[in-house]
Structure 1
Amino acid sequence: MDTAPRTVEANGITLAYRAWGPEDAPPVVLLHGRGADSADWADIAGPLAAGPRRVYALDLRGHGRSDWPGTYAYELMCDDVHAFLGALGIARTDLVGHSLGGVIAYLLAQRAPEAVGRLVLEDAPAPFPLDPPRPRAERPDGELSFDWAMVQATDEQRNAPDPVWFDHMERITMPTLLVGGGPASLIPQDEIAALADRIPDARMVTIDAGHLVHETRPKEFLAVVEPFLAE
């Protein structure tokens, strides 16, 4: 894994990222789940880069080595990723998002469809209000690798997401692959099926791995994602 520190200024903050593969190869951007960072993709990025592809993995705002500005929203994180692409001169990329990263990925696909070639959503929740609402979480003791304010802000939006997010799923017209983690996942799999029904050019596969599909079963994950990206 390329561990050389890389940063870029985008959307008014500093975003940290890792990169693999030839610089002139087709790009793919990986977006991690909540509480993780770009290192979460260590087992996935190398094989994707061998495609060959230029693979980028971000630390989202409030995570890892990126800025922790104290202001968080899914829409802001989406704007960060869009600005990241602009800062690196990437006009169009394939996009893979897990969980929180999947929500950011489908918002970007709605808001800037010209920037996304193919879309992979790994165990990403649909924007349905939680019933019952998620209670306010208590901060664990010790140092964290992410900003606790980010957890509180994203919990609020997870409880009451903007209904426009689901209404605009039909704007996602690029080929889309949804990867569900099966019954052991903390994400209700009928939500993933609802996204697959709503997105016009979507297909859904299930890998019985729980929520952390690419981490728990990286070979199986790559076996469905690599052919999809190569189509």
Structure 2
Amino acid sequence: MSDTEHDIYTVTLHHVDAKTEDADDSLPLIVIHGLLGSADNWRSHVKAWQENRRVIAVDLRNHGRSPHVEGMTYQAMSDDVLAVMDNLGIDQAHILGHSMGGKVAMTMARLAPQRVASLVVADIAPVAYSHGHDDVFAALNEVAVNRPANRRDADALLAKHVDARPIRLFLATNLERTTDNGQPVMGLRVGLEQIIKGYPDIVTVPAGDQPYYGPCLVLRGANSDYVSDAMLPALKQVLPNARVVTLKEAGHWLHADQPQAFQQAVESFVAAQSASC
């Protein structure tokens, strides 16, 4: 089975479905994480947004608690999320995606625009990227091979390849406690082998040939180069109605660097689109 051919089965994604009693009946918001992330990374944001609407945060294939399967094409990942919507009886939703999840969201918007009421893309452009994750993959593989006894030992293994502690803390969200011959060890819950095999599809452009003409907000970090000014023409070709907003003192993980500003920007945008529906 080839990652570059769309013969990959749709899988049932783990997801978190949140809504408070006081939330209105407007269209839900679906949140899609980035590479090596999960729905768990968005808990504080989901808690804030669910006060006003239903929020569904998904674990993409090979991430979080979702199945480990071959194939990381954007059409396959988009189909997985659309299947969640189908299973929940959701015809249309606001879609938010960060990084790799932003490309999944753009693919959904291009291939199934009738399902996307509005689009929020967080710090990613519809272009092919050259910067790799070899050090990150090597760090996670170090843990997978050595199966450390605890998180402290796991961090020491990650540090062999990744100097920055914030990145190691993020990678550590992919660790889970398990056993080896009856002894407690730290293992990986991420499908590392499948992700590495599918990596050429991850760094490429979103799937689809048509622009998405619906309302769109692109949030980028001022300290990130993932959505540079040079990329804006390409972005406008795919998302002609996009409004680009730069969050100060934020990098690629802008939702973690500036959580309040990020939450408010998303809430204001989605609320405005809900009011116009």
Structure 1 residue 35, shift from structure 2 partner: 0.4
C-alpha offsets along residues 113-169 of structure 1, whole Å, 9 cap, x if unaligned?
A: 000001000001322353xx748653531232311134324431245x35865x53x
What amino acid sits opposite 1:116 in the alignment? V
For 2:102 and 2:226, locate their aligned partners in 1 and report how far apart those are by CA, in whole Å: 12
Which secondary structure does the structure 2 equivalent of 1:81 belong to? helix
1:3 corresponds in structure 2 to none
For 1:141 and 1:227, locate their aligned partners in 2 and report how far apart those are by CA, in whole Å: 42
Q: Return 58-67 or 215-224, whichever deviates more.
A: 215-224
Of residues 196, 203, 209 in structure 2, which corresponds to 1:152?
A: 196
Q: Return 191-200 or 211-220, whichever deviates more.
A: 191-200
For 2:59 and 2:206, locate their aligned partners in 1 and report how far apart those are by CA, in whole Å: 27
For 2:196 and 2:127, locate their aligned partners in 1 and report how far apart those are by CA, in whole Å: 17
Which secondary structure does the structure 2 equivalent of 1:141 belong to? helix
Q: 1:135 to 1:146 in 2, by over 3 A?
A: closer
2:251 corresponds in structure 1 to 210
What amino acid sits opposite 1:203 in the alignment? R
Which secondary structure does the structure 2 equivalent of 1:47 belong to? helix
Which secondary structure does the structure 1 equivalent of 2:64 belong to? coil
Q: 1:145 to 1:215 in 2, by over 3 A?
A: farther
2:161 corresponds in structure 1 to none
C-alpha offsets along residues 162-192 of structure 1, whole Å, 9 cap, x if unaligned?
A: 5865x53x2x01100000012x225242365
For 1:27 and 1:88, locate their aligned partners in 2 and report how far apart those are by CA, in whole Å: 11
Task: Kindly report which structure 2 residues correspond to 1:4-153, keeping only aligned pairs within 5 A, or say none.
Answer: 12-22=10-20, 24-51=25-52, 53-128=53-128, 130=130, 134=132, 138=138, 140-142=141-143, 143-153=187-197
For 2:104 and 2:64, locate their aligned partners in 1 and report how far apart those are by CA, in whole Å: 17
Percent identity (aligned):
30
C-alpha offsets along residues 73-108 of structure 1, whole Å, 9 cap, x if unaligned?
A: 222101101111111110000000000100000000
Q: How many residues align?
A: 213
1:189 corresponds in structure 2 to 228
Please give the root-mean-square deviation of Cα atoms over the aligned residues, in Å: 2.3
Structure 1 unaligned residues grouped into runs of 5+: 1-10
What amino acid sits opposite 2:28 in the alignment? P
Which secondary structure does the structure 1 equivalent of 2:37 belong to? coil
- Is the Cα contact below 8 Å between 1:35 and 1:145 reproduced in 2? no
What amino acid sits opposite 1:140 in the alignment? N
TM-score normalised according to structure 2 size: 0.70
Q: 1:224 to 1:192 in 2, by over 3 A?
A: farther
- Is the Cα contact below 8 Å between 2:100 and 2:202 reproduced in 1? no
Runs of 4+ in structure 1 over 6 Å off: none
Q: 1:181 to 1:88 in 2, by over 3 A?
A: same
Of residues 218, 221, 239 in structure 2, which corresponds to 1:178?
A: 218
Q: 1:129 to 1:180 in 2, by over 3 A?
A: closer
Structure 2 unaligned residues grouped into runs of 5+: 1-8, 144-186, 273-277
For 1:44 and 1:163, locate their aligned partners in 2 and report how far apart those are by CA, in whole Å: 25
